[in-house]
Structure 1
Amino acid sequence: MKKIISSVAIVASCTGLNSYSYAEASTEQRDPLLWSSADGRKSFKVGGVVRLNHRYEQWQASPNRGFGKLDFDIFRLDLKGQYDKAYLDASYVVQDQEKTSIEKAFVGYKLTDQQRLEAGIVYKPFAIYPYPQNGWTYHIPFFLGYGNNAAPGVNWGYNNADWDIKLGYYPRMLDADLRYSPESATYEDLSENHLSFQAGYQNEKQNQVNARVVHKFGNAQLGKHEAGLSGSWAQLHNKSTDKQGHYYAVGLHSNSNYQRWNLQSSLIHYQYDAKNPTGVDKDMTLMGANGLTPAYFIASEGTVASVNVAYTLPVQNMGKLKAIRFYNDYSYLDKKRSDWAASQMNTTGAMFIASPFMLWADYTWGKNANIIGGATNGTGFTSATSENSEKWMYRVNLNIGFSF
C-alpha cells in the first residue's frame, strides 16, 4: 500500500467551485490554479501531487531487494471549493500498477461558525486521523482500517476553542475497487486481489456509526494539546449465511505540540463478531482495498497501540529547503488469541520540506507485519506462521513529490 500524504507545512490541498471570471480574483499573490472572488466568499482551486518512490527490502522474495531506479508512485488531483457557506473537497488518485482510488469526495455546509455538515465520501473520524503516523510508511493502525479511511455517508462536526466533536453515519463501505484505505470486505468484493483460500470470508460492514470527542487545552507557554475518546459500531452482514454479526471499536488518543516537538499516542481495541458458515474461522477477518496489495487477514479481535514523536528543525539560507522534520513512529498489535504472536512496526525517518518539493526518507523495522515481508510474512496480522514470521525485517524507502 502506497501512502499519499501532504506535509503539515505545505499541505497539498485545493479550494473550490464558483461561477465568476478569473478577472474578478484578487491580483495579490495570484495563483494560476486558483479562482477567487474579491471578498473571498467564492473560490475554486485545482491542486495535487506527483510522487516517485525508491525502495530496498531485505527479504529474498522481494522484487525491491536490489537498488534500482525511481518508480512512479501516485498522481493525486485535488479539488476544493467554496460558495458562501457551502464547500467541496475531493481527491482522486492514480497509483502505480494502474490502480485508482478516491481518497475523499464530499460537499459540506457551515451551519454556524462552530458546526459543519458534510455528505459524500467522507473521512470516518476515529482516534488520530486521517494520518495515524508522521512518516511516509503507514503503520499497523492503517492496515486495520484506522487511517485515511473514507466511506459514503454523513458527518456532523462541532469545533470551538475547547472541543472538537464529530459524529458520522455510513450505510455501507466504499466499493473495493475505489478504496485507498483497506477495509473489511467480502471475498467477492475483492475479486481483483483475493486469494483462493479466502473464499469462505463473506462479511461486510453496514450501517456504521462513528463518534469522536476531543478536548483541547494548553497555552503559549505549555504548548497545545488534545485528548480524545472514539467509538465505532456497525452491523457485520455475512453474504453466505445472510445473518448479521457486529463490529465495534473503542479508542483513546492524545496529540501534543510543545515548541518544535510533537507527541502522538493511541490505544484502540476492536472486535469483529461474524456469523460465518460452519468451518470458517471467525478468529480472522478479511481486509482489502483496490488491489494494489493482495487481500489479507487480520485478527478478528485485538488491541493496537501507537506512539509517534517528531521534531521539526527550521532551516535558513539553504534555498528552497525550509525545514526538516525528524520522526519515529511505533505501533504494536496484541491479538486476543494467546497463541498468536504480537505484531510490531517501527519507522525512523526524516521529512525534508522544500515547497513545492517534499522528500521522505524512511527506515522501517517490522515483526509479524504483512507490510514487512509481504507474501513471506502473509500471516503476520493473524497466526504469525509464515516463512518469515517472528523475524525482524527491514526496508528502506525514499519518496519524493512535487505539489501544485
Structure 2
Amino acid sequence: MQRLFLLFITCLISTWGYAQYPEEDPPEPILKIGGALRFNYNLSTWKEDQLERGGDFGYDVFRINVESEYKGIKLNAEFRHYSQAFGGAFLKQGWFQHDLSERSQIQVGLNQVPFGIQQYNSNNWFFNITYYVGFEDDHDMGVKYIHDSGRWQWQAAYYKSAEEFVFGLAEPSPNRYSYDITGRNKENNQLDFKLVRRLGDSLAHELGASLQGGLLYNLDTEQNGTRYAAAVHYEYKPAYSPWNVKLQAMLYRMNPQYAAGEDLNFVEMGAYGANYNVASKGEMYTASLAYHLPLDTRLLQGITFYNNYGYYNKRVSGFENTHMNVLGALFTAGPMYIYTDAAFGYNQPWLGPEWTNALAFGTPGDTDWHLRFNINMGYYF
C-alpha cells in the first residue's frame, strides 16, 4: 500500500504544472477567517445530582476556521478548543487542496473520509449512531481525489493513519474530534472509494455506495490485523423543497491481531478525551427526516424540525444492541444557530449511565431508555 501511495502522490504532483499562472499576472492571495463560540445546556435523566440542580449550562467550544488560496494552492483548516475534560485543543480538519479542473480536486492532509452520507448523516447536534463508531464526519491523514460532474461523483482516498497526534509506538491519543480506533491498536493504510449518482431534473435524489478497507497495527504483537466496511445510502435534498430525507445501511468488520488470551470481540475507540469499547463487527441502519420552516421575523429566520434514528446491530454473541433517537429543532437567528434536542439512548455511552461498554457488551438484563435534553447555542462568524 505504501508503494501505491508514493505512486499516487507522484502522479498527482506531475499534474500541478498544468495549472501554473503567468509570472506577469499572478493572482491575488485570498484569506478568509471565521469561527464560532458555543455554549451548552443539558439535563440528563440518569444523573440524579444534575436533576436536583436543574441541569448544567457551560462552555462548549471555541473554534477558528481558515480558508486561503494563492497561485492555485488552497488551504482549509479548523482548530477547536474544548474544555480540558473534553480533550482540550486540537485540529479538527486541515488540508492543502489543488483544483485539477472545474470538476476535480486533490486534498492532502487531515480531510473528511469519503464514506456514507456527507457531510453529516444527521440533522441534529448529536449526530447519528454512525458518528460514535467512526463512520460519520470522520477525518484522517491522507490523500483524497474528488471528481464531480453533477450527475456523477466519485471519490478515492488513501489514509496513512487517523489523526496522528502521538507518533511512534505510543497509544493513540483520544484528544480528537472524530472517533478512531485507539488503545493498543492503530489505524493504518486505509483505502476508501465512494460513488454517487444524482437523479431528477434538479438532482435532488442522491444514491451512493461506499467501500473501506484497511489495517490495524497492534502495539503488543507488532502485527497488522484487518478491517473493512461498506455502505449504501439515499438522500433527498432538493433546493426548492423544505424536506430532507437521509437513509443509510452499512456493515463493518474489525479483526485486530491481539496477543494470545485477549478478548477479540471489541476494540477501543476514542474522541473528546476518553476511550470506550466498541463491538468488533456489526451493522448500522439510520433514518433521518427534516423539515425547514422559513420565517421573516426580527429575530428568527427559520426553524428546522427533525427526527434522526439509528439502530446498531452488534454481530457478537451476548452483546446487547444499541438504539439512538434524536427529536429536535434548529433555530436560526442571524449568525446564531440554536439546536434544541431531546436525545434518547439505549446502550449509548453519551446517552446513559454506562460508558465503557455501552457499544460493546451493553448492560444485559438491566438496560433502559435514557433521555438527555440538550440546548446548544452558537455564534458563527
When normalised by structure 1's length, the TM-score is 0.81
Instruction: Note the C-alpha offset of 1:163.
Output: 1.1
Match of 1:204 in 2: 186
Deviation larger for 93-102 or 233-242: 93-102
User: Runs of 4+ in structure 1 displaced over 4 angstroms?
Assistant: 61-65
Q: Do structure 1's residue 159 and structure 2's residue 156 form an aligned pair? A: no
Match for 1:283: what amino acid?
Answer: N
Percent of residue pairs bearing the same amino acid type: 27
Match for 2:67: what amino acid?
Answer: K
Q: 1:47 to 1:40 in 2, by over 3 A?
A: farther
Instruction: Note the C-alpha offset of 1:368.
Output: 1.0
Q: 1:377 to 1:120 in 2, by over 3 A?
A: closer
Match of residue 71, structure 1, among 50, 58, 65: 58
Q: 1:45 to 1:355 in 2, by over 3 A?
A: same
Match of 2:269 in 1: 287
Match of 1:308 in 2: 288
Q: Do structure 1's residue 369 and structure 2's residue 348 form an aligned pair? A: yes
Which blocks of at least 5 consecutive residues in structure 1 are unaligned?
A: 1-38, 187-201
Match for 1:280: what amino acid?
Answer: E
Match of 2:18 in 1: none
Instruction: Note the C-alpha offset of 1:160.
Output: 1.2
Deviation larger for 107-116 or 90-99: 90-99
Which blocks of at least 5 consecutive residues in structure 2 are unaligned?
A: 1-25, 166-172
- Looking at structure 2, the residues matched to 347 and 206 of structure 1 have their Cα atoms a distance apart, in angstroms, of 33
Match of 2:102 in 1: 113
Instruction: Note the C-alpha offset of 1:326.
Output: 0.3
Q: 1:40 to 1:134 in 2, by over 3 A?
A: farther
Q: Do structure 1's residue 380 and structure 2's residue 358 form an aligned pair? A: yes
Q: Do structure 1's residue 358 and structure 2's residue 337 form an aligned pair? A: yes
- Looking at structure 1, the residues matched to 379 and 27 of structure 2 have their Cα atoms a distance apart, in angstroms, of 27
- Looking at structure 2, the residues matched to 211 and 273 of structure 1 have their Cα atoms a distance apart, in angstroms, of 21
Superposed CA RMSD in Å reads 1.9
Q: How does 1:105-144 map to 2 (within 5 A)?
A: 105-144=94-133
Instruction: Note the C-alpha offset of 1:321.
Output: 1.3
Instruction: Note the C-alpha offset of 1:184.
Output: 0.4
Deviations 1:356-378 (A, max 9, x none): 1110100011111111114x353
Instruction: Note the C-alpha offset of 1:48.
Output: 0.3
Match of 2:221 in 1: 241
Report the 3-state secondary structure (helix = DSSP H, G, I; strand = E; otherwise coil) of the residue aligned with 1:396. Answer: strand
- Looking at structure 2, the residues matched to 334 and 67 of structure 1 have their Cα atoms a distance apart, in angstroms, of 34
Match of 1:337 in 2: 316
Q: 1:100 to 1:61 in 2, by over 3 A?
A: farther
Q: 1:129 to 1:178 in 2, by over 3 A?
A: farther
Match for 1:243: what amino acid?
Answer: Q
Q: Do structure 1's residue 182 and structure 2's residue 179 form an aligned pair? A: yes
Deviation larger for 58-67 or 84-93: 58-67
- Looking at structure 1, the residues matched to 44 and 64 of structure 2 have their Cα atoms a distance apart, in angstroms, of 29
| Matched length | 344
Deviations 1:193-233 (A, max 9, x none): xxxxxxxxx1111101111111111124xx60111100111
Match of residue 274, structure 1, among 256, 281, 291: 256
Report the 3-state secondary structure (helix = DSSP H, G, I; strand = E; otherwise coil) of the residue aligned with 2:84. Answer: helix
Q: Is this contact kept in 1: 2:182–2:275, CA < 8 A?
A: no
- Looking at structure 2, the residues matched to 183 and 109 of structure 1 have their Cα atoms a distance apart, in angstroms, of 27
When normalised by structure 2's length, the TM-score is 0.86
Higher helix share: 2
- Looking at structure 2, the residues matched to 112 and 228 of structure 1 have their Cα atoms a distance apart, in angstroms, of 23
